Structure 1
């Protein structure tokens, strides 16, 4: 539930609290949430600028930088990293946590480029690929850049403790699973293998995110980005699997329904969004293939939808009692996590 100034003023108008208390409470809540990402114009500017700078050094890097040679790329990257750390420390000193975290993340994202420069400089780069291919293709020798990024990312995250720093670490873990699979398979990275690697690496990332969530939910949301890339990898790998079995397709629907349930329980919208997409895809398959000419299918689907709405009404009536009783069977750490998110 979002607490706005209008809601507090409405509470004061109903004599729940005084107008002075409403103003004081609003100022207190604003101060408490200033370091939490919100959909405000200021925060949009922060993240837009940060993502443009990060994208310039990663996704949008062009071949023009190859003209500097390995040594040039290495020293320019170090210069950029120094500037990023300087800005991060300056923002942190002024209490601007979000831009400080974005600048620290920019430094972590420079790590693959820096390592690439060193390898080119020392003449140990194994083929004719360029740095801009790092985010486009799967190759085993990216692993040097990925291990280095994990090391620098872990070091900076340990020192600065900004949640946004987990983003490049999560992306790197995702990349690493694919590149390790390419190395193990001897470079024979077929589409079938890609789907399986995405599926299982996504599950591992989701498990890691859940562990981080339990360990750190009292401090900050460090699990956010790991959940996002874990769900994307898992759902992408799952949805790209091919099967002619109706049972397999129904199991796919059930998995997506479970994802929605998990998302609601953990208050993680990424599970709900992708679970809903999967359910819609399955219903679309039923409508276009299985029940293409059936007049009964839309009627049955309508009845099902209304039944779900009624189920929601029943849940709302008994939610508190069901929640309290069901949480008694959960481990203490998980119970604390769910209570913190409710």
Structure 2
């Protein structure tokens, strides 16, 4: 819960705390929160500049760099990486954690380019594809670039411990799930297998994100990006599955409801958002197919919606008692994680 200056002023007006205490507490909270990403103009400039620099070396890379040859690409990438680490150290020395983390992330994002250049230099690049295709197409031979990026990303994240460093790691894991499917199919477009690989690899990423969440519960949010791409891979693979069985479709609805409940429990909005979209897709299926000509379906759905609202009223009324009793049965690390989110 974010505490504003106005809320503290209101607390002082209600004689809960003094005006001096309200001011001191606000200054303390500002100090504690200065390194957390938030929607301020300063942080927008930080991330906008960082994403432009990262995008220039990844998504927006053009064919002009091919003229440097493999060796040239390697040495230029190493020079850029050195500059990125230099800026990261200087920002960290000035206690500017957000830009320091962005610069370190820029270094990790250079890794696929450097490995591509190295393969070109050594003459082991397998076809006529170029680096800019890495972010556009699915190919099995991108795996070398992805494994190298994971190794460098994990090493830098372990040393510097900036939460934003998890972003390229999460993106790389997402890319790997698609490229592994291409490797297993020999490059053929076997979409059934690809959907299954995406679903199960996404589920593994969600499990990894939860493990990271537990381990980092007393520090920064390192699991944010892993949750996002894990949920995208899992939910995308799940939603693209085809079945003519109404039972399977209902199970899909139940899985999405479970995602919503889990997202609310551990305060992860990405689970709630995708779960809500999946639930709406199932309800749309019922409205357009099963109950297409039934006048009772909209009435029943309205009653269910109002019932859910009433359930929310009851939950708000008894939330503390229910939560306290339920958390007695949870492991201590999970209780501490939930307590840090409330």
TM-score (norm 2): 0.98
Corresponding residue number in structure 1 for 2:55: 55
What is the CA distance between 1:188 and its match in structure 2?
2.6
> How much has 1:322 moved relative to structure 2?
1.0
* Cα distance between partner residues in 2 of 1:63 and 1:190: 30
Paired residues in the alignment total 342
1:227-259 per-residue CA deviation (whole Å, 9 max, x = no partner) reads 111001001111111111111111111111000
1:239 maps to: 239
| Equivalent residues of 2:182, 2:194 under 8 A apart | no
Aligned equivalents of 1:17, 1:321: Cα separation in 2: 27
Contact 1:140–1:182, Cα closer than 8 Å, also in 2: yes
Deviation, structure 1 residue 159? 1.1
SS at match of 1:244: coil
Deviations 1:203-226 (A, max 9, x none): 000000111111111111111111
Quick one: distance in 1 between partners of 2:14 and 2:95?
36
Aligned to 2:315: 315
Aligned-partner SS, 2:3: coil
Aligned to 1:90: 90
Q: CA deviation at 1:181?
A: 2.7
- Residue by residue over 1:267-302, the C-alpha shift from the partner in whole angstroms, topping out at 9 and shown as x without a partner, is 000000101111111111222222222221111111
Kindly indicate whether the alpha-carbon contact (under 8 Å) linking 2:71 and 2:121 is maintained by their aligned counterparts in 1: yes
Counterpart position of 1:107: 107
Deviation at 1:65, TM superposition (A): 1.1
Tell me the residue number matched to 1:253.
253
Cα separation, 2, equivalents of 1:280 and 1:114: 44
Superposition RMSD in Å: 1.1
Residue 213 of structure 2 contacts residue 223 of structure 2 at CA under 8 Å; is this kept in 1? Answer: yes
Moved more, 159-168 or 278-287: 278-287
What CA deviation, in whole Å up to 9, does each residue of 1:91-135 have, x standing for no partner?
111110001000000000000000111111111111000001111
- Does the CA-based 8 Å contact 1:88-1:103 persist in structure 2? yes
Other-structure match for 2:207: 207
Say if 1:181 and 1:189, in contact at 8 Å, map to a contact too: no
Following the alignment from structure 1 to structure 2, what is the Cα–Cα distance between the partners of residues 216 and 281? 34
Q: Which residue of 2 aligns with 1:80?
A: 80
Q: Structure 1 residues 331-340 or 192-201, which shifts more?
A: 331-340
- The more displaced of 57-66 and 227-236 is 57-66
Partner in structure 2 of residue 8 of structure 1: 8
- Do the aligned partners of 2:217 and 2:336 also contact (CA within 8 Å) in 1? no
Runs of 4+ in 1 over 6 A off after TM superposition: none
Rounded Cα–Cα distance in structure 2 between residues aligned with 1:270 and 1:258: 13
Q: How do residues 81-160 of structure 1 correspond to structure 2 at under 5 angstroms?
A: 81-160=81-160
Which whole-Å CA distance do the structure 1 matches of 2:267 and 2:133 have between them? 36
Q: Where does residue 186 of structure 2 map in the other structure?
A: 186
Aligned match of 1:332: 332
- For the pair 1:293 / 2:270, whether they are aligned, the reply is no
Give the aligned partner of residue 278 of structure 2.
278
Q: Post-superposition shift, 1:16?
A: 1.0
Structure 2: 5+ residue stretches without partners? none
- 3-state SS, counterpart of residue 197 of structure 1: helix
Counterparts of 1:52 and 1:284 in 2: how far apart (Å)?
39
Q: Hey, what's the Cα distance between the residues in 2 that align with 1:309 and 1:148?
A: 49
- Contact 1:253-1:278 within 8 A present in 2 as well: yes
Q: Which string of whole-angstrom CA distances, capped at 9 and with x for unpartnered residues, describes residues 35-68 of structure 1?
A: 1011111111111111111111111111111111
Alignment partner, residue 171 of structure 1: 171
Q: Is the 8 A contact 2:77 2:114 kept in 1?
A: yes
Verify the 8 A CA contact 2:139 2:187 in the aligned structure 1.
yes
Name the TM-score, length of structure 1 as normaliser: 0.98
